[in-house]
Amino acid sequence: MEQNQKNTTSPSVKVHSVLTIVSGTPVRKGSVCPLSPLDHAMAHHSLHLIFYYSCGSFDLDRIRPPLNDVLSLYPIVTGRLARDGDGNWHVKCTDAGVRTYLANADVSIDEWLRFAGADDERLLSPWEDLPDDPHIWSPFRIQITEFEGGGTAVGLSCPHMLADPTSATLLIKSWTEALHHEPIAHPPLLHPLALKPPPATTTSITSPVYYAAKSTRSEPKKSPKMASATFCFLDSAIKKSLSEIQSTFPDATPFDLLVALFWTRIARVKRSTWDQTPSMSFCMDIRRRLQDPLPDGFFGNALHFSQLKVGAHELECGDLCNVAELVHCHVAGLDLQDEFWSAVDWLGSRKDGHGKFASPFRMYGPELTCVNMEHMIPDESESEPFMYMTQFVKGQKPVHVSCHVGNSEGEGLILVLPSPEGGLARRVAVMLPEEEMDRLVEDKVILSLEPTFLLSGRM
């Protein structure tokens, strides 16, 4: 289905109530949660998750007490940001609570998912930039939006330096588990020293050199107007496409295929803007990929960024098998034990003579960046990806989950996400400069996989 007519009518979202939800158990007075070097490095970005449910109204009296209980496990969520004696960020665990908004949208959830755009979605996850004095500023914000005729969205926003997508997702999942009187499957580990490089780490130069190069890139004087769309691929379409390239490259995965597909097609859109060898930054969760794995419940940032350069000719010729193999070899071949800890060590070394961390830089972008969210699919013993286990009404999982990263404008952002369909089905959320997105949604190679579109801002 081609998406060639923009929706010029924006839906309306009106907030009718604002309240603060606190934890059920007071925090010990004077408690603080320090932030890791990697947390500090994410300070340029905000994180936004939106869980869409087709079921009707959420009764606040029913879902609020379990949130009180869960917040007792997450003092970093109810606290407030402050500077320590060295000038670095930490969270004062003050039990100040989570700002919560109740809102209504004037369209149905089906209309919203079909026609709303990125600007509209921002209305579902409220955000205010970090003020100079944040002692009363709520870092975590929740919004519950009811749609016309039934359906609800639960939006969560926070500074990225306090939580990555896994942490934010498991916070909502823990809330729904408490709601149904189930044990918390992934209790939070609030321990920044878990990100202290082990003594036996072999220092790699690849990651520090890449991070150092990112830290010196100048900000663009003017960011282009960005547009976004989510491409939904069925299990059958991914299986068919994989079978076509696995005859040559049998190890290809859905992630390899989709990155190759979108990178080669975006390359054709961008070819006139390249002034150097095309590259892509890859962001991946490292919790399970270390020699001593971190638990899924580790709360904070456990991400690693790496770079893959591919010749312009290889991208422009559109050979999916070749590019998929390059992507696979890059991602699978990373020695994350050394690369990740070397990056953390380098970030921790960026301090002035008084112990204050150097200014943060953009981790997402400005180069084309791809985020691998397939780690949200747990082992085979569990039936759903983490984000689709968040059931406020038993048996009714989200129909869609959106993830946005604030201040990631530039060449573009690609997120490869699980699908509620399960199996090999995937959803790919893409953000590009508006003119490039206009061409991408009409790309015949992508359309040959018969994706459906969500949240593209188009009719």
Whole-prediction pTM: 0.95
Contact 155, 404 (CB under 8 A): no
pLDDT digits (tens, 9 = 90+) for 29-43: 889 999 999 999 999
- Separation of alpha carbons 130 and 436, rounded Å: 31
Structure tokens at 415: 């997120």
pLDDT at 8 exceeding the cut of 70: no
- Hey, which bits of 326-433 come out as E strands? 369-372, 400-405, 413-418, 426-433
With cut-offs at 50, 70 and 90, classify the pLDDT of residue 81.
Answer: very high
Sign of CA dihedral 152, 158, 162, 165: positive
- Separation of alpha carbons 166 and 403, rounded Å: 11
Structure tokens at 59: 């009764």
pLDDT at 232 exceeding the cut of 80: yes
Contact 78, 22 (CB under 8 A): yes
Average pLDDT over the chain, rounded to whole? 93
Q: Which positions ≥6 away from 295 have C-beta within 8 Å? A: 186, 189, 287
- Separation of alpha carbons 41 and 55, rounded Å: 39
pLDDT digits (tens, 9 = 90+) for 298-351: 999 999 999 999 988 889 888 999 999 999 999 999 999 999 999 999 999 999
399-408 mean pLDDT: 97
Q: Domain spanning 13-195: which superfamily?
A: Chloramphenicol acetyltransferase-like domain (3.30.559.10)
Closest CA to 310 of 370, 379, 391: 370
Contact 347, 37 (CB under 8 A): yes
- Separation of alpha carbons 299 and 75, rounded Å: 11
Domain ranges of the chain: 13-195, 206-386+406-454
Is there a common fold for 13-195 and 206-386+406-454?
yes
- Backbone torsions φ then ψ of 201, nearest 5 degrees: -65, 130
Q: How many residues does the chain have?
A: 459
The helix or strand, by DSSP H or E, that contains position 54, with its residue range, turns out to be none
DSSP state of 291: S
pLDDT digits (tens, 9 = 90+) for 406-427: 999 999 999 999 999 999 999 9
**Residue 145 three-state SS:** strand
284-301 mean pLDDT: 96
The helix or strand, by DSSP H or E, that contains position 277, with its residue range, turns out to be none
Q: Which residue has the higher pLDDT, 1 or 67?
A: 67
Pairing label, strands 152-159, 426-433: unpaired
Q: What is the dihedral of CA 163, 166, 171, 176, to 10 degrees?
A: 160
**Residue ranges of the alpha helices (H) in 145-205?**
165-179
Structure tokens at 262: 């979108």
Burial 270-298 (b: 16+ CB within 10 A, else e): beeeeeeebebbbbbbbbebeeeebebbb
Closest CA to 6 of 442, 445, 451: 442
pLDDT at 144 exceeding the cut of 90: yes
Q: How far is CA 148 from the centre of its chain?
A: 28
Please give the CATH number for the structural domain made up of 206-386+406-454. Answer: 3.30.559.10
- Separation of alpha carbons 111 and 459, rounded Å: 10
With cut-offs at 50, 70 and 90, classify the pLDDT of residue 1.
Answer: very low
The helix or strand, by DSSP H or E, that contains position 14, with its residue range, turns out to be strand 13-21
